[in-house]
Each structure stands twice: as structure tokens, then as C-alpha cells.
Amino acid sequence: MGKHSISINNTEYPCRLTMGAMLEFKRRTGQEVTEMQGTDIALLITLIFCCLVSSCRADGVELPFKDEMDMADHMSPEDLSGWQSENFQAQAAPCEMEKAQSKKKG
């Protein structure tokens, strides 16, 4: 899986968090992305779909799925966890490295 993409059914699609994706998420759910808590699978799938919609629109790629359910029907748990780790856990790593470095200095 490449950076800012998701692999679904062994096919890669552009899928990154954009301002358009956050706006789409707000319109669909009534919630801000920053309000997401825990592991609500429905909200996570909706967020991924919003990222897919926005990224495909921005990149001029035809949207491969008609809605969240259509996308989810083609996804495996591995597709979901791969996108999550690429987009969220990788961002936490630099923060953890900074903490470790400041402990070494202090």
C-alpha cells in the first residue's frame, strides 16, 4: 500500500485525509472528525469513505464504490488496519521519538 492510499481487494485507491474529506464526514455524520473517539467501526468506515471520495475527486479518479456499504462489502479487516496504521499510527511515531529524546537529554 502506498502513502495516502488504501488497498481494497488488492487494488489501490487514493485515500487521504483532506479538508474536503473532513467536510464530507461532517455532512454525513453531523460530527467533526476530531470528535471521533474509541473504535466506532461505523464512523471509521464513513471516514475512510469520505477520504476516498475526496481523494478520488481531487485526483480525477473515478469513484470505485457507490457508498460506504459498497466499499465496506469489499474490505477486509486487513485493508482497514493497513489504512489506519499508515494514516494514524505513523503520525504518532515522531511525537513518541521526541519524548524519548527529551528523556535522554533530561
Domain boundaries defined on the chain = 5-105
Burial degree of 8 (CB within 10 A; 0-12, 13-18, 19+): buried
Whether pLDDT at 15 is above 90: yes
The arithmetic mean of pLDDT across residues 5-31, rounded, is 94
pLDDT in tens, 26-70: 999 999 999 888 778 999 999 999 999 999 999 999 999 999 999
**Which pTM value belongs to this model?**
0.78
* φ, ψ at 37 (rounded to 5°): -135, 150
Query: For residue 49, what is the DSSP state?
Result: H
